[in-house]
Amino acid sequence: MAFWNKEIETMPREELEKLQLKLLRAKLREMYDKSPFIHEKMRSVNLLPEDVDSFDKFRQVPFMKKTDLRDNYPDKLFVRPYDELVRVHVSSGTTGKPTVVGYTQGDLDNWTESLARGMTSFGMGKKDMLQNFHGYGLFTGGLGVHYGAERIGATVLPIGTGNTARQIQLMQDLPVTTWAGTPSYMFHIADVCDQQGIDIQRDTKVRLAIAGGEPWSESMRKKLQDRTGVRVHNCYGASEFYGPMFLECEKQNGLHIWADLCYMEILDKNGDPCADGERGEIVVTMLQKEAFPLIRYKIGDISALDWEPCECGRTHPRLMRISGRTDDMLVVRGVNVFPSQIEAVIGEMPFLSPFYRITLENENYMDSMMVEVEMNEESLTEDMVQLNRMTSQLASRMKEILNIKADVRLVLPGTLERFEGKGKHVVDNRKYD
């Protein structure tokens, strides 16, 4: 059984927790001195870095939330100057303001190290070629996976998103062994292969895949593996962490959360720690992050953590499948979408009323999003040409803000259902089993 860093990956829990507490104390001291944001958080509860001598004491540190990222846009949470940064990534935010994350070389090294360990844990190595379906650029998925694969000596085919015919042609012509992308796109690849009479196991060398960026289930994994003959491994992360960071090993029984890089808490609705295996909200502290600190960050995902050593021999805690969220964020084809973003766009358009509905479907596991918006009474006098222009204007602006294409429809006033109290704007018909 292969390890990337066996000494760290098999360290006993007691030693890992001692290391985590040491790193926590050092990070708090650094942030107390360098980050006005963290400094004020700790002062608000009369807590000094040297007071934190246990994990119980650490839980007195107030949470970071997504609203903190928005309120400190673009770079007020950075603790390193730009001349010490080597990269900046940007992801979608809650109200149209994106999340901006800076990286030092040390940050990129830790991110790459995390993925190198994970890739090695499920059997990737120097003999593999990774076909990377993830987008390159501001999105963290493409470059993160790319550098992780190169670190372990694998060959990378940086093809990016789309152009399915070319994707399939290259995976036949080149010795591609591994995919990386969203599970919905892998299902689409399988569909097109079926239509073209291509047998993935017979006509390609693909045997492994890294799937993430959107919700999916164990039953989806089984269907995808049965259809393609490819062993598919789950991936978890967020741009706030570094990007996609944590992978399943060959046992496919939870994502290994590297305890020397991340201290992960699972908390109940009262903010108390959940027992091993009990589901609650994920709270993340990055232990070696340099440019963009993350201390007790409430990511909004619901899951459970299991410290029982894995059958693969690794001792770090394992994160079970994400089972839900605590906020209204939607993940559509790997992109974070907030209804508040759509509300902001609607508010820009004088011909629209504030009533809208988002409908999500995933026929053949490919996500689609339809946004219906009521016109206001004044716009009813417009002719068909002008209505088409308004629809096109709305669709274009939605794509600009959401970074994803939606099927936009203007509907007559009074068409959409009204609700007493809080309105219901999202109809999610997607099924993951």
Q: What domains, with CATH codes, occur in the chain?
A: 71-327 (3.40.50.12780), 335-428 (3.30.300.30)
Q: Check if the beta carbon of residue 89 is closer than 8 Å to that of residue 104.
A: no
Which of the 8 DSSP states describes residue 204? -
Q: In this model, does residue 203 exceed pLDDT 60?
A: yes
208 beta partners: 178, 231
pLDDT, position 419: 57
278 beta partners: none
Banded pLDDT at 342 (limits 50, 70, 90): confident
CA dihedral angle for residue 21, residue 26, residue 32, residue 36, rounded to 10 degrees? -100
Express each pLDDT in 153-178 by its tens digit.
999 999 998 899 999 999 999 999 99
Range 53-73 burial, b when 16+ CB lie within 10 A, else e: eeeeebbebeebebebbeeee
Q: How far apart are CA 56 and CA 52, in angstroms?
A: 8
Q: In this model, does residue 432 exceed pLDDT 80?
A: no
Q: Check if the beta carbon of residue 90 is closer than 8 Å to that of residue 99.
A: yes
Banded pLDDT at 420 (limits 50, 70, 90): very low
Token code pair at residue 41: 């958080």
Query: How large is the average pLDDT for residues 111-138?
Result: 96
Average pLDDT of every residue of the chain:
92
Q: Which of 134, 163, 113 is nearest to 4 (CA)?
A: 113
Q: Which of 10-19, 162-171, 401-410 has the lowest mean pLDDT?
A: 401-410
Q: Residues near 22 by Cβ (< 8 Å), separated by ≥ 6?
A: none
Express each pLDDT in 312-324 by its tens digit.
999 999 999 988 7
Query: How large is the average pLDDT for residues 419-431?
Result: 72
Query: How large is the average pLDDT for residues 27-44?
Result: 97
Measured from the Cβ of residue 180, the count of other Cβ atoms closer than 10 Å reads 29
